[in-house]
Amino acid sequence: MRVHIRYFASVREIVGLSQEIHDLPETVQTVGQARDWLRAQGGRYAVAMAADKPLRMACNQVMCDAQTPLSPGCEVAFFPPVTGG
């Protein structure tokens, strides 16, 4: 399934891209599985998507959780929690 992935703030800095398109394997069906798949690619993705790293996620510009299903052509976004001060 082809999805458009966007990265924001420190995630974008680590990955080195603001967005990209990936053809995910059939086994990747949720936003959380997309994160796991990206992490498994190693290198900068392993760092940006580390399991212990708190990340917010959105699917088609709506905040979501790891169980949110993906659909062909959807947009998935990853970004760190926002803090103010």
Q: pLDDT per position in the chain (85 positions), as tens?
A: 999 999 999 999 999 999 999 999 999 999 999 999 999 999 999 999 999 999 999 999 999 999 999 999 999 999 998 755 5
Q: CA 43: distance to chain centroid? A: 15
Per-residue pLDDT at 82 = 76
Per-residue pLDDT at 84 = 55
Q: Which range marks the domain in which residue 7 is found?
A: 2-79
Is 20 in contact with 2 (CB distance < 8 Å)?
A: no
- Whether residue 60 is contained in a domain is answered as yes
- Whether residue 56 is contained in a domain is answered as yes
H or E stretch at 13: helix 9-15
- Whether residue 22 is contained in a domain is answered as yes
Q: Provide the 8-state DSSP code for 85.
A: -
- Whether residue 84 is contained in a domain is answered as no
Structural domains counted in the chain: 1
- Whether residue 85 is contained in a domain is answered as no
Q: Look at the pTM and tell me if it is higher than 0.85.
A: yes
Residue 17 maps to which CATH number? 3.10.20.30
Q: CA 56: distance to chain centroid? A: 9
- Whether residue 40 is contained in a domain is answered as yes
Per-residue pLDDT at 31 = 98
**How distant, in Å, are the alpha carbons of 35, 36, 56 from that of 85?**
29, 31, 19
